A and B are shown apart, each in its own frame.
Chain A
Amino acid sequence: DTEVTQTPKHLVMGMTNKKSLKCEQHMGHRAMYWYKQKAKKPPELMFVYSYEKLSINESVPSRFSPECPNSSLLNLHLHALQPEDSALYLCASSQEGGGGGDQPQHFGDGTRLSIL
């Protein structure tokens, strides 16, 4: 059982829709991450929140808007997505912003997003 919970598991949306992906962890971690993963590719980092503040934005298009309402929750708001945005979106958390070997990142099972 994963300790990082992502909802929904699957999402199909049109290019004009607005939707949100949600992520929750109750491990007391203070760093949370959004990744995008295409088929047969490694996860690609999108955003990092450390102590509820955005610390990394990997030049992600503005149609993706992250939000960290509190230390346990992380949202990714989606608007006007393109078909190439179809992918698995993974959320992760770690104790601090390290994410290195001493503070590994724990991943959720992801949201499979399809853009029509």
Chain B
Amino acid sequence: DQQVKQNSPSLSVQEGRISILNCDYTNSMFDYFLWYKKYPAEGPTFLISISSIKDKNEDGRFTVFLNKSAKHLSLHIVPSQPGDSAVYFCAASPPGSGNTGKLIFGQGTTLQVKP
């Protein structure tokens, strides 16, 4: 039973345009949502997060939007750069995990930004 889903395995975007990566979840009690980026042969790198009590968080070119009624979040990258090409994982922090650090990851979306 996948609690965090990324339904698009891959996305291709032209340099300079907007990249939108989507994530759906089933548990309305998740506390936090996080996005990680992963290059080949490297570990995941934390990008940005959002608390379940907010609907938007912005950090430079990265913005995460949370729609709690739809149980959906998205990561917007504007403008997209070739160096953004990587696998992006959505992750959620289950309720009661505040002291344990448990994260549930989606399957990942491979983003390719073409020059």
* A residues in contact (CB < 8 Å) with B: 2, 4, 6, 31, 33, 40-45, 48, 50, 55-56, 90, 92, 94, 96-110
Could you say which residues of chain B place their CB within 8 Å of the CB of A45?
Answer: 102-103
Output the nearest chain B residue to A58 by Cβ-Cβ distance. B102
- Across chains A and B, the number of contacting residue pairs, with CB separation under 8 Å, is 88
Given contacts A42-B106, A99-B101, A109-B43, 14 further A-B contacts (CB under 8 A): A6-B43, A43-B89, A44-B105, A50-B101, A55-B99, A56-B102, A100-B31, A100-B101, A101-B93, A102-B51, A104-B34, A106-B46, A107-B36, A107-B44
Interface pair A101/B105, CB less than 8 Å apart:
no
Complex contacts, A92 vs chain B, CB 8 Å: 43
Contacts of B98 in A (CB 8 A): 97-98, 100
B residues whose Cβ falls under 8 Å from a Cβ of A: 31-34, 36, 41-46, 49-51, 89, 93, 97-103, 105-108
Q: Which residue of chain B is the closest to A101 with respect to CB atoms?
A: B49
Interchain Cβ contacts under 8 Å between A and B, 29 examples: A2-B43, A41-B107, A42-B106, A42-B108, A43-B89, A45-B102, A48-B102, A50-B101, A56-B100, A56-B101, A56-B102, A90-B43, A90-B44, A92-B43, A94-B101, A98-B93, A99-B97, A99-B103, A100-B32, A100-B49, A100-B93, A100-B97, A101-B51, A102-B49, A102-B51, A103-B101, A105-B103, A107-B45, A110-B43
Q: Which of A4, A40, A98, A104 contacts B43 (CB 8 A)?
A: A4
Q: Are A97 and B46 in contact (CB under 8 A)?
A: no
Assuming the contacts A42-B108, A99-B93, A101-B50, asked whether A55 and B100 have C-beta atoms less than 8 A apart, the reply is yes
Q: Residues of B contacting A106 with CB < 8 Å?
A: 46
Instruction: For the complex, give the distance between the alpha carbons of A87 and B45 in Å.
Output: 19
> In the bound complex, how far is the Cα of B89 from the Cα of A41, in angstroms?
10
The chain A residue with its CB closest to the CB of B42 is: A109
